[in-house]
Structure 1
Amino acid sequence: MHTRAYLRASTKEQDANRAREDLQSFANDRGLKVASWYVENESGASLARPELFRLLSDCHPGDILLVEQVDRLSRLDADGWSKLKAEITAKRVRVVALDLPTSYQLANSGDDFTSRMLDAINGMMLDMLAAIARKDYEDRRRRQRQGIDAAKADGRYRGRPEDTKRNDAIISMLNSGQSWNSIVSATGCSRSTLSRLAKRTAQVMSASS
């Protein structure tokens, strides 16, 4: 049995490693050795999380997936959570979360009957906390939209400030002839942002010619 720790933050500006010490302390207290760490900055509302699925690919039956909170594992909608849970179940992975005390006993192997009972109880609790995490995600996004709408109505909304330093670097890469794929890989920008900057560069060049 191996313990594999998963750390996630939603954006690159957030520290995905923030909970590493807490997870390590939890493992030490229970005599568990963390075999590997999987860290990424991706939205919990998306299944497009390479490190999480690399973790599951590395798992063997009975391995532990250790997370700080269930919402680090999922802020998915019902369909997305169903797919992720099916993958976890197929791998026979035990999810242990610091905010889910009923999962702690899964960190210790027991007889088959006890393990199955704990799996069933933990599965129900995971479903409940995953649903709560999704509701919290949707509530926050609704409040954000309401705040933006109110700011627009009052003429106060200016949108997110442009990252001029990053965009200048991207424009320089475009001017040097680098491919879009290499720029996206190097900077982490979206292709829509890249398209907007490419159009801006073309307009500047056209105006100066």
Structure 2
Amino acid sequence: MAFIRAYLRASTKEQDAGRARADLERFVKERGLVVAAWYEENESGATLKRPELERLMRDCHPGDVLLVEQVDRLSRLNEADWEKLRTDLKSKQVRVVALDLPTSWQAVSEGDEFSRRMVDAINGMMLDMLAAIARKDYTDRRRRQSQGIEKAKAEGRMRGRKEDEKRNGKIAVLLRAGLSWSQIVEQEECSRATVAKIAKRLQTT
């Protein structure tokens, strides 16, 4: 029986990476299976540097199944990074099953060697295609966002984030009191760039 590892990903902390968990649980339950391990994170699918994905790959053994809701949850990678991930999956003999790729579902079903090899070949092509589509969607959205920002700036509709005057005033007081930047960053939970900006402002006043 396949050892199923479920991977859940969302792009930002504001999104719920666990939203699809019920769908994955329903999928395996209908087939009399269970998810043996869950990996959930809020990271961009456009990078390979994802802690939970890396942990999943370290945990995998030959014959394991990597279960995802959609292929784009696994990859919005560029061609080189997708090729690396796909090569790693192949070398570990890990099969990818995605709810939006019905041909992959057979990977969690029993079958003879010929059928498994045929399914693997078909799924390899389908995964490549869906991964390419996911990457194109990602780059298209980024381009539209960039164009929207540039248009808003040109029309004078784009304003920077409103300054936190209360916090910045406190940072200025702490700087004058002689606290180190590291102490201020820790106390006010701000970035060093913010402290540097306030310090520079104090030098000119």
TM-score (norm 1): 0.83
Listed one character per residue, the Cα deviations across residues 30-54 of structure 1 (whole Å, up to 9, x for unaligned) are 1111011101111101111110111
- The answer to whether the 8 A contact 2:181-2:192 is kept is no
CA distance in 2, matches of 1:82, 1:135: 16
The SS at the match of 2:143 is helix
Greater displacement, 80-89 / 199-208: 199-208
Match of 1:125 in 2: 126
Q: In the alignment, residue 39 of structure 1 is paired with which amino acid?
A: E
Does the residue aligned with 1:197 lie in a helix, a strand or coil? helix
Q: Distance in 1 between matches of 2:55 and 2:153?
A: 42
1:45 match: secondary structure: coil
| Partner in structure 2 of residue 31 of structure 1 | 32
Q: Provide the rounded CA distance (Å) in 2 between the counterparts of 1:136 and 1:9.
A: 15
Aligned CA-pair RMSD:
2.8
Distance of aligned partners of 1:155 and 1:88 in 2 relative to their CA distance in 1, 3 Å threshold = same
How many residue pairs are counted as aligned between the two chains? 195
Of 190, 193, 200, which residue of structure 2 is paired with 1:203? 200
Deviation at 1:144, TM superposition (A): 0.5
Identity among equivalent positions (%) equals: 61
Aligned to 1:190: none
Contact kept? 2:70, 2:100, Cα under 8 Å: yes
Looking at structure 2, the residues matched to 87 and 125 of structure 1 have their Cα atoms a distance apart, in angstroms, of 17
- The corresponding residue for 2:13 is 12
Per the alignment, residue 110 of structure 1 pairs with 111
1:133-166 Cα offsets, whole Å, 9 max, x none, are: 001001111111111111011011124x4695xx
Secondary structure, aligned partner of 1:31: coil
Q: Which residue of 2 aligns with 1:88?
A: 89
Q: What residue is the counterpart of 1:21 in the other structure? A: 22
Instruction: Give distance in 1, aligned partners of 2:97 and 2:139.
Output: 25
Distance 2:113 2:183 in 1: 55
Question: How much does 1:201 deviate?
Answer: 4.1
Report Cα offsets for 1:181-207 as digits up to 9, x if no partner: x96xxx7xxxxx833113034236657
Q: Return 5+ residue gaps in structure 1 as ranges.
A: 188-192
Between Structure 1 and Structure 2, whose CA radius of gyration is higher? 2
Q: Which amino acid aligns with 1:122?
A: N
Amino acid at match of 1:196: A
Q: Does 1:97 align with 2:73?
A: no
Q: C-alpha deviations, 1:62-85, integer Å up to 9, x for none?
A: 111000000000001111100110
| C-alpha spacing 1:179/1:59, structure 2 compared with 1 (3 Å) | farther
Equivalent position of 1:65 in the other structure: 66
Separation in structure 2 between the aligned mates of residue 8 and residue 97 of structure 1, nearest angstrom = 13
Alpha carbons 2:46, 2:78 under 8 Å: kept: yes
What TM-score, normalized by structure 2, do the two folds share? Answer: 0.84
CA distance in 1, matches of 2:162, 2:30: 46
Structure 2, unaligned stretches of length 5 or more?
A: none
